[in-house]
Structure 1
Amino acid sequence: MTISLTIYGIKNCDTVKKALKFLSSKSLPHEFIDFRENLISEDLYKTMEQGVGLEMLINKRSSTYRSLTDDEKQNIGYELVSKYPTLIKRPVLIQNGDVMVGFSEKQYSELLL
Structure 2
Amino acid sequence: MLRIYGIKRCDTMARAQAWLADHQIAFELHDYKKDGVPADRLADWMRRAGWQALVNTRGTTFRKLPPEQTADLDDARALALLTANPSAIRRPLIDLGSELLVGFDEQRWSGVRWPEVSR
Letter in 2 for 1:76: A
2:24 equivalent in structure 1 = 27
% identical aligned pairs: 28
1:97 is displaced (CA, Å) by 4.5
2:2 equivalent in structure 1 = 5
| Root-mean-square deviation over aligned CA pairs | 1.7
In 2: Cα distance, 1:66 partner to 1:60 partner: 7
In 2: Cα distance, 1:42 partner to 1:104 partner: 25
1:76 aligns with 2:83: no
The count of corresponding residues between Structure 1 and Structure 2 is 109
2:111 equivalent in structure 1 = 110
More helix as a share of residues: 2
1:50 aligns with 2:52: no
Gap regions ≥5 residues in structure 2: 115-119
1:102 is displaced (CA, Å) by 0.8
Gap regions ≥5 residues in structure 1: none
Deviations 1:65-97 (A, max 9, x none): 1232333223221x3323211110111111135
Length-normalised TM-score, structure 2: 0.81
Letter in 1 for 2:95: I
